[in-house]
């Protein structure tokens, strides 16, 4: 079976064709970074308008790349939530309309299920059951996964998501949006042990997260450490040291909670997905933790950590195979708890 996947939940237009025998036949991604850069964050109305401009041309490109006609597809999957409502509506309306026009089933997909299943696109794919750490710009969750749609949320952020904390701290450091990757790059120039950030909620039992305090801690640290008399080079070095300490605190906190989740569930397989899973320090830390625990860690290739069409096509195909498809309507669901999805 072969499916077209459409992702438009935030600031990336991602389109892909996935075939369960041939794998990913084509995928394209258009990032709106330049559209939102001047504003320091995603402007929802601009995001929707840009998806309107880019989605259909990208679908045409992907069909050409894969050398596939619409008649050779078995369905169309699109992200129906969670995300920005206007941005979601673009993918939903285009996906549903093309499915109607091409006489194909339309499959609404949960964006976080897409992230969660993205490691299945790799040669080294995890077997069920596993613990998944989902870390994106909008979500931070630990999930016990027993199969597709069998999700038990073990813990989540009570305030900012990990990616959001990266983005906000990056902004405080004067870095461009999206801050996560830029802050990580800056942290690579930073020195260890110059600053000590807290590890929020690690002293209490439980698997929930809280990252908003780190942003406030970063703001205070920057204010105290970056003094006017310092040279530009000294300021740059101190900022890199702060970036290092911040990143280390987020990575440590995530690692402690992953370890705890694995102990609690007695599972040995860990999956990490979502934009922040592209972070090198996080990957290295989790890899060495899992080695110590004699377990295994699985993640998508970096380009499938952040938003993309391939993960939506993959998740959509699993849902389609189980008989899921939408009648002649579409609905964007900006808030959609992951554990309300039916099991496959």
Checking DSSP bridges between strand 23-31 and strand 12-19, what pairing results, if any?
A: antiparallel
Burial code of 268-286, b = ≥16 C-beta within 10 A, e = fewer? ebbbbbbbbbbbebbbebb
Does 136 bind ligand KG4 (CB under 6 A)? Our answer is yes
- The closest of 226, 246, 274 to 169, measured between CA atoms, is 246
Nearer of residues 149 and 163 to ligand KG4, judged by Cβ: 163
Taking CB under 6 A as the binding criterion, the range among 84-92, 135-143, 206-214, 260-268 that sits at the site for ligand KG4 is 135-143
Q: Is 73 left (phi over 0), alpha (psi -120 to 50) or beta?
A: beta
| Count of C-beta atoms within a 10 Å radius of residue 179 | 26
| Three-class secondary structure of residue 120 per DSSP | helix
Q: Site residues for Zn ion, window 110-139 (CB under 5 A)?
A: 136
The C-alpha atoms of residue 88 and residue 41 are separated, in whole angstroms, by 18
Nearer of residues 131 and 276 to Zn ion, judged by Cβ: 276
Per partner kind, with CB cut-offs from 5 to 8 A, the member of ligand KG4, Zn ion, none near residue 75 is none
Taking CB under 6 A as the binding criterion, the range among 48-56, 132-140, 194-202, 236-244 that sits at the site for ligand KG4 is 132-140
Does 18 bind ligand KG4 (CB under 6 A)? Our answer is no
Taking CB under 6 A as the binding criterion, the range among 59-67, 215-223, 271-279, 285-293 that sits at the site for ligand KG4 is 271-279
The C-alpha atoms of residue 339 and residue 334 are separated, in whole angstroms, by 15
Taking CB under 6 A as the binding criterion, the range among 100-108, 179-187, 223-231, 318-326 that sits at the site for ligand KG4 is 179-187
Per partner kind, with CB cut-offs from 5 to 8 A, the member of Zn ion, ligand KG4, none near residue 179 is ligand KG4
Per partner kind, with CB cut-offs from 5 to 8 A, the member of Zn ion, ligand KG4, none near residue 126 is none
Q: Which two tokens stand for residue 268?
A: 């040995």
Nearer of residues 111 and 168 to Zn ion, judged by Cβ: 111
Does 149 bind ligand KG4 (CB under 6 A)? Our answer is no
| Bridge partners, residue 22, by sequence | none
Q: What angle do CA 220, 158, 184 make, to 5 degrees?
A: 50
Tell me if the bond preceding 270 is cis, omega within 30° of 0: no
Q: Site residues for ligand KG4, window 294-323 (CB under 6 A)?
A: 306-307
Distances in whole angstroms, Cα of residue 117 to Cα of each of 141, 148, 316, 317: 14, 8, 10, 11
Q: Which two tokens stand for residue 22?
A: 């041939």
The C-alpha atoms of residue 180 and residue 273 are separated, in whole angstroms, by 15
Nearer of residues 126 and 274 to ligand KG4, judged by Cβ: 274
31 and 340 Cβ atoms separated by less than 8 Å: no
Out of 75, 91, 274, 316, point to the residue binding ligand KG4 (CB under 6 A).
274
Size of site (CB under 6 A) for ligand KG4: 19
Does 180 bind ligand KG4 (CB under 6 A)? Our answer is yes
Nearer of residues 11 and 241 to Zn ion, judged by Cβ: 11
Does 178 bind ligand KG4 (CB under 6 A)? Our answer is yes
The C-alpha atoms of residue 273 and residue 252 are separated, in whole angstroms, by 17
Nearer of residues 287 and 293 to ligand KG4, judged by Cβ: 287
The C-alpha atoms of residue 93 and residue 72 are separated, in whole angstroms, by 21
Does 184 bind ligand KG4 (CB under 6 A)? Our answer is yes
Taking CB under 5 A as the binding criterion, the range among 56-64, 88-96, 301-309, 335-343 that sits at the site for Zn ion is 301-309
The contact set with Zn ion (CB under 5 A) reads 136, 307
- For ligand KG4, the binding residues (CB under 6 A) are 10, 136-138, 163, 166-167, 178-181, 184, 274-276, 278-279, 306-307
């Amino acid at each position: 079976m072969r499916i077209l996947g459409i992702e438009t939940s935030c600031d990336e237009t991602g389109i892909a064709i996935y075939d369960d025998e041939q794998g990913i036949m084509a995928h394209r991604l258009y990032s709106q970074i330049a559209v939102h850069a001047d504003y320091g964050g995603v402007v929802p109305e601009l995001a929707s308008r840009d998806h309107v401009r880019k989605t259909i041309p990208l679908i045409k490109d992907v069909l050409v790349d894969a050398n596939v006609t619409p008649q050779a597809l078995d369905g169309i999957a699109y992200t129906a939530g969670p995300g920005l409502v206007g941005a979601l509506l673009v993918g939903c309306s285009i996906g549903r309309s093309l499915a109607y026009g091409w006489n194909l089933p339309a499959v609404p997909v949960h964006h976080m299920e897409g992230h969660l299943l993205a490691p299945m696109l790799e040669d080294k794919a995890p077997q069920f059951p596993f613990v998944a750490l989902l870390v994106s710009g909008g979500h931070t969750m630990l999930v016990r996964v027993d199969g597709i749609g069998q999700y038990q949320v073990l813990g989540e952020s009570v305030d900012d998501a990990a990616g959001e904390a990266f983005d906000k701290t990056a902004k405080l450091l004067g870095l461009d949006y999206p801050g996560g990757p830029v802050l990580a790059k800056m942290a690579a120039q930073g020195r260890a042990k110059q600053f000590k950030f807290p590890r929020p909620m690690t002293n209490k039992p439980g698997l929930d997260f809280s990252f908003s305090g780190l942003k406030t801690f970063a703001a205070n640290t920057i204010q105290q450490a970056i003094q006017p008399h310092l040279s530009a080079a000294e300021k740059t070095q101190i900022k890199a040291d702060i970036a290092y300490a911040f990143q280390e605190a987020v990575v440590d906190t995530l690692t402690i909670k992953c370890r705890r989740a694995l102990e609690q569930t007695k599972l040995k397989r860990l999956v990490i997905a979502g934009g922040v899973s592209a972070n090198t320090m996080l990957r290295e830390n989790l890899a060495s933790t899992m080695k110590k625990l004699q377990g295994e860690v699985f993640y998508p290739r970096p380009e499938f950590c952040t938003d993309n069409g391939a993960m939506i096509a993959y998740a959509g195909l699993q849902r389609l195979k189980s008989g899921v498809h939408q009648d002649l309507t579409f609905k964007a669901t900006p808030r959609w708890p992951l554990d309300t999805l039916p099991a496959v």
